[in-house]
Structure 1
Amino acid sequence: MSVTKAGTGARPEEREAPRAGGQAGSATAALTAAVLGFFVITLDVSGVNVALPAVGRDLGGSLSGLQWVADSYTLMFAALMLSAGALSDAVGARRAYAWGLGLFTLASLACGLAPTVGALTAARVVQGSAAAVMVPASLALIRQAFPDPDERARGIALWTVGGAVAIAAGPVLGGLLTTEWNWRTVFFLNVPAGLAALATLARAARSARQPVVFDLPGQVTAVLALAALTFAVIEGGHHGLTTTVLSAAAVAVVAGVAFTAVEARRRAPMLPLELFRQRGVSVPVVAGFACNAAFYGGVFVLSLYFQEQRGQSAFSAGLMFVPMAVITAHFNYFSPKGVSRFGPRSVVVAGLLTGAVGCGGLAAVGTGTPWWVTAALMIPLGIGGALAMPALTSLMLDSVAAERAGTAAALLNTSRQAGGALSIAVFGALLAGDFARGMAESLALAACLLVANALGAAALLPRRR
């Protein structure tokens, strides 16, 4: 993707319009809409995870089918986000966000009405595609609304709080809705929330357009590589190394190589590879992958563990996430203060190591472990992401030019969602045999991944920025 400054070439009607309630009111509207939208799209990960056993009982889905219900969303979320960043730059962040939010709301309605696992998975594909448009546009909105770096850091922290609260509290809400009504209400909840976000967005300032060139070969190869890899991991875990699984793995490798070759040779690539030469870009991309792999994968495994192994109801399982949810929300806001005082390196490393402690402790729990011990061990996992992600996001956006904000936001969140999708695929495959052993191996793997990234961040990032 090629992005240049709009300059005087931007059409007058697409330049930033006067803000009806003043600059502060318009910025608040943009931030509120961005936080609310990010909350609902993240809620559709954690809230749906705790409802998966009920979906399986109602629609007759197998474990692999339930993995696809979860992964079809995160897969499209990850695969389309780079092009979605280009769309945000091309049509303006506010317009792109409105398109994505409207489509997400309609897809949520379709999910709630789905008669089969296949129909639900298809609707989740549309949901994930819409979410891919929303995330880079929401971050671009925040960057536009808050040009001052300190104010922007606080805005990003609040945006991250919305996602952190959703992914941590989602199991509680999803469990309550599933237990008291049914799993379909988890999706129906998005409809009024989406309409409220659209109403708030109308009060935000218009966004300037940026000239872009869409990279169709890069997008096709990216989708093919991620989809084939996810298919190979999920199906391989349940059926072994069949011809179909090996073929899918081969397609993933070929498509991945093709994607790299296309992006290196195109004059207007979707993903400018030179971005990775900046440590302020490469470290957040890799560490963001690790954070989401640990968190998304952990929530997926624990949701099944509470219900399938401990025999808890969906609501009871959701309540296990309450301590983590409450504490996570507070630490998201502490992160920018820590960055201002100690620099991003210290905050990122501390967050990654804290998350690793949580995963390591959870790897040792079993059906006989007291519930309060398990709940307590989940807290460091939430704190780790709450500390690291705001710092990583601010570091990423501060490392690129303003006109590449959409691309940078898309790249970071592509990496994060890919981490979530692949962790669900890998952890689900490990659970397919002996659940207890698979759970321990999954969480130990997540802990090792976080420790490795903490060491990498400590070595590559400067002590102060």
Structure 2
Amino acid sequence: MTSTRVPPTRATPAPSNASRTALAVSTLGFFVITLDALIVNVALATIGDQLGGGTAGQQWIVDGYTLMFASLLLFAGNLSDRIGAKRAFTFGVVLFVLASAACAFAPALWILILSRFVQGAAASLMLPPSMALIREAFPDAVQRSKAIGLWALGGAVAAAAGPALGGLLTTIDWRLVFLINVPVGAVAVALLMKVPVSPVRPATFDWLGQIAALAGVGALIFGLIEGGVLGFGAAQVLASLAVAVLALAVFLLAQARGRSPMMPLDLFQSPGLRIALSVGFSFMVGWYGMVFVISLFLQQHLGLSPLLAGLVAMLLAAPAGSLVMVSLLLIPVGVAVFGALLAGPAGFVPGLQASLLIAALLLLSTAVASVFIRRIQN
């Protein structure tokens, strides 16, 4: 009688202390990056009262950060390869802390907006290296997937807690919304000292594509923000939008014919990628825009305190996915209720309006979370 010998399964080695430290610092970096995209929204009304600027100024405080963050991400990934993930991440954290301190002590609106631009650039320098540090620390595929899950959880927690934390800090002093990054950055730098030096590799850079991307996104955001103030028929607004279209055309040409494109167009041949990008773009535009509008609406029209406004806004990112029974049909219902509230604010008693608004937001967040959970399960 012959027996079949089953080869022993190789046990996966436990992560080292250095690997855990790399995961901790990467997760902390992603946490503050996401946090600073949301925490400032609840403070905008108070900042506007003290520094002025109106709605356009408030939009620039938010969009100045996201503009630089989005435009420089691919450059940051290239820089991480050139100088090493650890060095790039350290540089980004230090710059992020300095920019946060400049935001906190800004005596005028234009200084605050400029500091937010620098803060967004620093955030872009942190994100790609944070993922590279995880890849270097966890060569095993199973452990790496778990580590990336924890890394993503850090961003999810920041997204959920950002509005409420922003409301709490604004109740004390809106400048604390930015100062909170200083001790967090100090902890990150201390942890980085225990992370091994990252390898470097040569990488060519697409300068034309990067300049076109930055010019195009910047011109588009300027045109959209200033168009709401000056009107979309204003000469400077039309010129800005024309520059955005021209820059986009140059960017696409550089990616199609360049030797080292920063975003190869072949990537978009995958239908799954196109669908994922479309859904992600639509969701992020609606979600981040909703947090911005809700934070101002609750404080300036309903008279809620920053803390209460932050708690209500937090419902947009609340982990309501435990109610998986909610169907996709709840989303249009929630949108309809929310749209009715914004369309006719004068027709409601303030207390009743706030209650209905909270119910609509909870309905939306629960439905969206349920849909995402179902997609993951399938």
Same fold flag (TM > 0.5): yes
Map of 1:134-153 to 2, 5 A cutoff? 134-153=126-145
Superposed CA offset, 1:356-397 (max 9, x none): 6654543233543453443343245545776788999x9xxx
Read off the aligned partner of 1:196 and give its amino acid letter.
V
- The question of whether the paired residues in 2 share the 8 Å contact of 1:175 and 1:317 is answered with yes
Give secondary structure in 1 for the equivalent of 2:72.
helix
1:108 corresponding residue in structure 2: 100
Read off the aligned partner of 2:59 and give its amino acid letter.
Q
Map of 1:256-295 to 2, 5 A cutoff? 256-295=248-287
CA 1:103–1:65 in structure 2 vs 1: closer, same or farther (change >3 Å)?
same
RMSD over equivalenced CA pairs, Å: 3.0
Give percent identity, aligned residues only. Answer: 44
Shift of 1:160: 2.4
CA 1:351–1:154 in structure 2 vs 1: closer, same or farther (change >3 Å)?
farther
Shift of 1:247: 0.6
1:362 corresponding residue in structure 2: 338
Read off the aligned partner of 2:340 and give its amino acid letter.
A
CA 1:263–1:159 in structure 2 vs 1: closer, same or farther (change >3 Å)?
same
Q: Which of residues 187, 195, 220 in structure 2 aligns to 1:196?
A: 187
Read off the aligned partner of 2:258 and give its amino acid letter.
R
Map of 1:75-154 to 2, 5 A cutoff? 75-154=67-146
CA 1:380–1:218 in structure 2 vs 1: closer, same or farther (change >3 Å)?
farther
Superposed CA offset, 1:16-55 (max 9, x none): xxxxxx7432222122112211111222121101100111
Gaps of 5+ in 1: 1-21, 339-349, 395-462
1:452 corresponding residue in structure 2: none
State the distance in 1 between where 2:143 and 2:170 align.
Answer: 39
1:185 corresponding residue in structure 2: 176
Superposed CA offset, 1:82-122 (max 9, x none): 11111122222222111111110110000001111100011
2:290 corresponding residue in structure 1: 298
Map of 1:187-266 to 2, 5 A cutoff? 187-240=178-231, 241-266=233-258
State the distance in 1 between where 2:284 and 2:61 align.
Answer: 18
- The question of whether the paired residues in 1 share the 8 Å contact of 2:69 and 2:124 is answered with yes
Shift of 1:144: 3.0
1:374 corresponding residue in structure 2: 357
Corresponding position: 1:169 with 2:161: yes
State the distance in 2 between where 1:378 and 1:273 align.
Answer: 37
Which has more radius of gyration? 2
Shift of 1:324: 5.0
- Higher relative contact order at CA 8 Å, sep ≥6: structure 1 or structure 2? 1
Read off the aligned partner of 1:104 and give its amino acid letter.
F
Read off the aligned partner of 1:195 and give its amino acid letter.
A
State the distance in 2 between where 1:30 and 1:230 align.
Answer: 35
Read off the aligned partner of 1:109 and give its amino acid letter.
A
Give secondary structure in 1 for the equivalent of 2:319.
helix
State the distance in 2 between where 1:365 and 1:139 align.
Answer: 41
Give secondary structure in 2 for the equivalent of 1:365.
helix
1:312 corresponding residue in structure 2: 304
- The question of whether the paired residues in 1 share the 8 Å contact of 2:319 and 2:369 is answered with no
State the distance in 2 between where 1:226 and 1:325 align.
Answer: 26
Please give the TM-score of this superposition, normalised by the length of structure 2.
Answer: 0.85
- The question of whether the paired residues in 2 share the 8 Å contact of 1:85 and 1:137 is answered with yes
Q: How many residues align?
A: 357
- The question of whether the paired residues in 1 share the 8 Å contact of 2:295 and 2:313 is answered with no
Superposed CA offset, 1:172-230 (max 9, x none): 111111112x2111100100011112222332343322321111111111000001111
Corresponding position: 1:26 with 2:18: yes
2:7 corresponding residue in structure 1: none
CA 1:360–1:102 in structure 2 vs 1: closer, same or farther (change >3 Å)?
farther
Please give the TM-score of this superposition, normalised by the length of structure 1.
Answer: 0.70
Read off the aligned partner of 2:209 and give its amino acid letter.
G
Give secondary structure in 2 for the equivalent of 1:206.
coil
Q: Which of residues 56, 59, 81 in structure 2 aligns to 1:67?
A: 59
State the distance in 1 between where 2:244 and 2:268 align.
Answer: 22
CA 1:179–1:291 in structure 2 vs 1: closer, same or farther (change >3 Å)?
same
Which stretch of the first structure deviates more once superposed, 364-373 or 161-170?
364-373
